[in-house]
Amino acid sequence: MKEQTEHLGFEGLSLAEIQQINAELRHYEDKTAVSIEALKIIQKHRRWVSNQCLVAVAELLDMSPAQLEGVATFYNLIYRQPVGKTVIHYCNSVSCWMLGSDQVQERLCQHLNVEVGEMTEDGEYTILPIVCLGACDHAPVVMVGTELKLDITVNAVNEILGR
Amino acid sequence: MEKMDKPLTKNIRPDRAFATLADYESTGGYQGLRKAVTELQPKEVQQCVKDAGLRGRGGAGFNTGLKWSLVPSDDLSQTRYLIANADEMEPGTFKDRMLLEQDPHQLIEGMIIAAYAIQANVAYIFLRGEYHLAASRLKNALKEAQSKGYLGEHVLDSSFNLEIHLHTSAGRYICGEETALINALEGKRANPRTKPPFAVVSGLWGKPTVVNNVETLCNIPHILQHGVEWYQSLGRGVDKGTKLFGASGRVKHPGLWELPMGTPIREIIEEHAGGMQDGFELRGFLPGGASTDFLLPEHLDVVMDYEAVAKAGSRMGTGAIIVLDDLTCPVQMVLNLEQFFAQESCGWCTPCREGLPWTVTLLQDIIGGHGRIEDLDTLAGLTRMLGPGNTFCALAPGAMEPLQSALKYFREDFERYIVGNNAIMETV
């Protein structure tokens, strides 16, 4: 099996990843259209997209690595650097900003002892900014992993992290 | 009894639970679709929506039926596509999320009718990647619709076939722009395309493509079910139907309400949102999201109609009001907005790529105490250089709207930073 994947040039991708990417192909006219979904599938398995994975996905989709890198670096939710097990996205757009997102971000960083964009030492968390999460009536809001946390107060930070 | 005056939100419950297929059907769901595919020709569906006067709810306000009628109909064997624009990312806007999460079948029915009207056999929901709950509810609802024969081959035993695929994006504001969205769906960087050709003629993979906003599509089933006259009777002013209006910022009860088009802004802010929080005064507001011009308390009696808000010097946009209170600095608020636009610029055309970071730098200098009075002229110049006609798409012109109106209405706030700075320099 290993020899075969090496021969195909997808070394580094698991069978599950390749199968999930191929399943997406059925929904589109061509392979390129799957690129964003494919990168997200890689992230589901590995949290981030390494150079090796990027090259492998490019070959799987008949794209040049440069073309796929152009896509990967364009989108906010594709990570080209390692991130923690849970990514905490704090909204810093206008309504959340007015209601204290700067303070929420400061408290998050303080609490986890990291700067924005860094991973905690134990590999659990990365804090990143995000644009408007579409819950402005409950500002400020934070997304912990895939879960939206509403009406965040500075004091609620410990609570939302569950520690 | 169905709440006829609030068609879009009649199934929305306060507990954020969602309407199941059975819930949706019990209030008349999929009746509009049944009528469309069993009684009407595609052209008649187009005409019905055009006559109703439904205008695009994503911000641009183009007549929806008219947009559909621009799809070439001479060669029916040609592939066409319908796309639901569910890439809600306009700061301050939170209307589509509610529709997607709490009544997914309403969108799906609207899409099936729209696809029938333009004779598209493949449709996509372009959903922003952060809307995880919406994604899982939509996936489930699509399966349900398929199993009940509303979707798939022979929709309600007719000769019409339709597949709907859910595409979850990976986050960029520019994806909300129609042609950038199409590039994103093709797996490319989401740069906007040159227009013409317009997407209705040459869009996804070069085929005729209609892109409609979620809220727009959610109106369609009701127009088909209850008719043009009923729909027109819903508006209070010039424009027809209802719309989701929101308010955020330091109001007592931030929220989202389905109200008739033509509702005065005062009613939204003072009654529905309960007015300002104690200790705060209303200083101004953005009537329709981050990319609309500031209006002042003196504009509170303007009604939420496309032309009325335009006449007051702004845009109805997404109908999401962002309230500026008297203790928030308008210059810092504009900086926050411009940082957003500078970050989200796709970088494709020069005025936007270079002009927005320059705008941010100037604002930071002013706020940081290094501003000069000439900087205000430079900022005013930028609002013209980045304005309509000079860029590939509407991102930069939209970014300039809050800035140009802030310079007009809150000039003394800008000057205070600069004069204060000069005073400090003189004492040194």
Does some domain include residue A140? Answer: yes
Q: Taken in order B305, B307, B309, B314, is the CA torsion positive or negative?
A: positive
**B204: which 2 tokens?**
């996804």
**What's the pLDDT score for residue A24?**
94
- Phi then psi dihedrals of residue B277, to 5 deg: -60, 155
Alpha carbon distances (Å) from B59 to A94, A142, B394: 18, 26, 11
Q: Is the peptide bond before A140 cis (omega within 30 degrees of 0)?
A: yes
Q: Is B91–A133 a contact, with Cβ atoms under 8 angstroms apart?
A: no
Region B318-337 average pLDDT: 98
**What's the pLDDT score for residue A155?**
83
- Percentage of chain A beyond pLDDT 70 is 92
For residue B3, name the pLDDT band (cuts at 50, 70, 90).
low
Does some domain include residue B99? Answer: yes
Residue pointed to by tokens 């804090």: A127
Alpha carbon distances (Å) from B211 to A59, A121, A147, B68, B111: 31, 45, 29, 9, 10
- The average confidence (pLDDT) of chain B is 95
| B132 contacts A146 by C-beta, under 8 angstroms | yes
**What's the pLDDT score for residue B423?**
47
Instruction: Note whether A95 and A68 are same-domain residues.
Output: no
Minimum CA–CA partner of B99 in chain A: A134
Boundary-marking domain end, from A72, A102, A120: A72
| B139 contacts B172 by C-beta, under 8 angstroms | no
Residues in chain B with CB shorter than 8 Å from the CB of A21 are none
Least confident of A3-7, A28-32, B203-207, B347-351: A3-7
pLDDT digits (tens, 9 = 90+) for A119-141: 999 999 999 999 999 999 999 99
For residue A39, name the pLDDT band (cuts at 50, 70, 90).
very high
Q: Is the pLDDT of residue A1 over 90?
A: no
- Judged by a CB distance cut-off of 8 A, whether residue A21 touches chain B is no
**What's the pLDDT score for residue B2?**
47
**How many CB atoms are located within 10 Å of the residue B30 CB?**
23
Instruction: Note whether B39 and B133 are same-domain residues.
Output: yes
Instruction: Note whether A55 and A91 are same-domain residues.
Output: no
Tally of CA atoms within 13 A in the half-sphere of A57 that contains its CB: 29
- Phi then psi dihedrals of residue B303, to 5 deg: -100, 155
**Which of A27, A71, A132 is opposite residue B92, by nearest beta carbon?**
A132
User: Residue A96 CA to chain centroid, in angstroms?
Assistant: 21
Q: Is the pLDDT of residue A4 over 70?
A: no
Alpha carbon distances (Å) from B53 to B62, B75, B418: 10, 27, 48
Nearest-neighbour CA in chain A from B80: distance (Å): 12
ipTM of the complex: 0.94
pLDDT digits (tens, 9 = 90+) for B162-186: 999 999 999 999 999 999 999 999 9
Three-class DSSP category at B164: strand
Q: Is B337–A30 a contact, with Cβ atoms under 8 angstroms apart?
A: no
Alpha carbon distances (Å) from B103 to B88, B176, B208, B361, B396: 16, 21, 28, 43, 33
Region B126-152 average pLDDT: 97
- Count of domains observed in chain A: 2
Boundary-marking domain end, from A72, A94, A112: A72
**What's the pLDDT score for residue B55?**
96
- Judged by a CB distance cut-off of 8 A, whether residue A147 touches chain B is yes
Three-class DSSP category at B60: coil
The span from the CA of B295 to the CA of B275, in Å, is 16
Q: Is B248–A131 a contact, with Cβ atoms under 8 angstroms apart?
A: no
- The average confidence (pLDDT) of chain A is 92
**Which of A76, A137, A138 is opposite residue B172, by nearest beta carbon?**
A76
**A149: which 2 tokens?**
């946390």
Relative orientation angle of helices B214-226 and B42-52, to the nearest 10 degrees = 100
Region B355-361 average pLDDT: 98
Q: What CATH number is attached to the domain comprising B381?
A: 1.20.1440.230
The span from the CA of A2 to the CA of A12, in Å, is 10
Region B240-266 average pLDDT: 97
Region B137-158 average pLDDT: 97
pLDDT digits (tens, 9 = 90+) for B214-224: 999 999 999 99
Q: Is the pLDDT of residue A5 over 60?
A: no
Q: Is the pLDDT of residue A2 over 60?
A: no
- Judged by a CB distance cut-off of 8 A, whether residue A141 touches chain B is no
Q: Which of B188, B331, B401 to mutate to test the interface with A (most CBs of A within 10 A)?
A: B188
**Which of A75, A76, A95 is opposite residue B248, by nearest beta carbon?**
A95
Instruction: Note whether B58 and B187 are same-domain residues.
Output: yes
Q: What CATH number is attached to the domain comprising B266?
A: 3.10.20.600
Instruction: Note whether B313 and B369 are same-domain residues.
Output: no
Boundary-marking domain end, from A72, A94, A126: A72
Three-class DSSP category at B386: coil
Nearest-neighbour CA in chain A from B132: distance (Å): 6
Q: Is A75–B172 a contact, with Cβ atoms under 8 angstroms apart?
A: yes
- Percentage of chain B beyond pLDDT 70 is 97
Minimum CA–CA partner of B326 in chain A: A98
Q: Is B130–A137 a contact, with Cβ atoms under 8 angstroms apart?
A: no
| A134 contacts B94 by C-beta, under 8 angstroms | yes
**What's the pLDDT score for residue A163?**
57
Instruction: Note whether B274 and B249 are same-domain residues.
Output: yes
Minimum CA–CA partner of B173 in chain A: A131
- Percentage of chain B beyond pLDDT 90 is 93
For residue B60, name the pLDDT band (cuts at 50, 70, 90).
confident
Q: Is the pLDDT of residue A10 over 70?
A: no
Tally of CA atoms within 13 A in the half-sphere of B402 that contains its CB: 32
Q: What CATH number is attached to the domain comprising B220?
A: 3.40.50.11540
Residues near B146 by Cβ (< 8 Å), separated by ≥ 6? B152
Instruction: Note whether B321 and B334 are same-domain residues.
Output: no
**What's the pLDDT score for residue B427?**
44
